[in-house]
Amino acid sequence: MAVTKVVMPKLSEQMESGKIIKWLKKEGDRVQSGDILAEVETDKADVEMEAFGSGVLRKIVVPQGEKAPVGTLIGVIADENEDINALVSQAGGPAPATAAAKPATADRPAASAAKPAMADRPAAVPPQPKSEDHAARQPAPSRGPDSPGGARVQEAAAQQPAPGTPQPVPSGADGGRVKASPLARKIAAQSGVDLKLIHGSGPGGRIVRRDVEAAATSPAATAAPAAAPALRPVAPSVTGPEYEDVALSAMRATIAKRMPLSKAPVPHFYVTSEVAMDRAWELREELNGLEGQPKISVNDLIIRACALTLLHHPGVNASFQGESIRVYHRVHMGIAVALEEGLITPVLRDVHAKSLVQIAVEARDLAERARQRKLRAQELSGATFSISNLGMFDVRDFSAIINPPEGAILAVGSVRTVPVVTDQGLGVGRRMALTLSCDHRVMDGAMGARFLQDVKRLLEAPLRLLV
């Protein structure tokens, strides 16, 4: 009786497909609910996938090394003598005729994790109110967790979320009025997507959020800049092909998709300040000279300074919510970590309540696990403010793009030894530039400047970072 469909889980908000790195159980193995079934590579991290039902892993549908869209059947757990042929053949077979009627669930968390009990029910086939003509032109984005039969069709759809050259057929197809959810309209307006050019996957062809988000990365529907292919060192040569197109890694694709959704709709402004780091530098050297103490980095000092300052400047620790501004009373700090294939921003939670040492230990742990791609999904979301530090690359200063829905991000340059004017004349000092990118909908220049001034004060008189 108990059949558990194992489907590709949705492990992050942006995840649309995942790759099976490794099956940790083989066909025929006994599986208990909660056992680790496989390792899955997502756009952000490698994540262990749990079984949500018990029985025998009867069938592996998607083998090691292959990708599958979120919600697709990738395996079957069932009792030994359970007949699973129908289920398995359905997964590999052609999409049922009802596929077009099923809404895509590309960005819906529903299309996630193995589904016990409810998954056994036959997929409901809802009435299709659209004209046949319209239904036929729909891109059939069948990806409902209830319709594993659509798996193969879905894969194609996943690689091409919106058709490259969409027919300019108005959604809804009733006299040109576009049917879209209010939220979809709002996001479309913010990201410059033309609703007339996209198809709705909701009931009656309604355009919903996921449709707009998919279209936002499609060049046909927006003027969003195409993602630059990753740079590769190429030996100087005058022969051979002139260029190559490098496939986007999952992470780069996510960045390419997310950043225009920030830079375009969020009105950024920037405030830069220079901080005298002499005392902070000395303090850090002194701390790191102590035996048995974890090493403190300049970034740890900045994290601590920002966390303390944000408590006094809640307006900067805030998020634009359309009709209101959400001011956070706790500080969850996103810390940008550069990786080979892109960057990732793990979140240090409740950092305002953490000591410098705690920050140092936890930030290092997060960064290390980010590099090993061992972060848990919940460690990648929920930041209220972020810091991006390019100090190690001898960068004087730079400005960062806000990671919505946060209201600000701090870009940190290198600590440089420079000539400075002192009371005694010309001297040598350590200076560091901080640039705060602010969402003008949330705060104004003076607010950002005051925050930065207080961060600067803390760093220039750094003993307060220790208490």
Active-site annotation, residues: 440
User: Does residue 115 touch another protein according to CB under 8 A?
Assistant: yes
Q: Find, among 209, 168, 179, the residue nearest to 191 by Cα.
A: 209
* Shortest distance, position 12 Cβ to another protein, whole Å: 11
The structure tokens listed for 348 are 């240090």
* Shortest distance, position 339 Cβ to another protein, whole Å: 26
Rule CB under 8 A: choose which of 17, 72, 171, 201 binds another protein.
201
Q: Under rule CB under 8 A, which residues in 129-158 are in contact with another protein?
A: 144-146
**CA distances to 123, 225, 245, 247, 420 from 232, in Å:** 47, 20, 11, 12, 40
The residue range among 81-89, 107-115, 238-246, 348-356 that interacts with another protein, by the rule CB under 8 A, is: 107-115
Neighbours of 59 (CB within 10 A): 19
Rule CB under 8 A: choose which of 126, 225, 314, 419 binds another protein.
126
Residues 6+ apart with CB under 8 A from 158: 16, 17, 69, 106, 143
The structure tokens listed for 420 are 């400075």
CA distance 213 to 217: 7
The residue range among 22-30, 258-266, 275-283, 322-330 that interacts with another protein, by the rule CB under 8 A, is: 322-330
* Residue span 375-404 as binding mask against another protein, x where in contact by CB under 8 A, dash where not: ------------------------------
The structure tokens listed for 353 are 């309540």
DSSP designation for 46: E
**Separate counts of helices (H) and strands (E) for the chain:** 10, 18
User: Does residue 184 touch another protein according to CB under 8 A?
Assistant: yes
Rule CB under 8 A: choose which of 10, 304, 354, 430 binds another protein.
10
* Shortest distance, position 111 Cβ to another protein, whole Å: 7
User: Does residue 186 touch another protein according to CB under 8 A?
Assistant: yes
**What H or E segment, with its residue span, contains residue 367?**
helix 356-371
The residue range among 201-209, 339-347, 435-443, 456-464 that interacts with another protein, by the rule CB under 8 A, is: 201-209
Q: Smaller CB distance to another protein: residue 377 or 395?
A: 377
Cα 38 versus chain centre, distance = 22
Q: Which residues contact another protein by CB under 8 A?
A: 9-10, 52, 101-103, 105, 108-118, 123-127, 144-146, 181-186, 201-203, 208-210, 321-324, 326
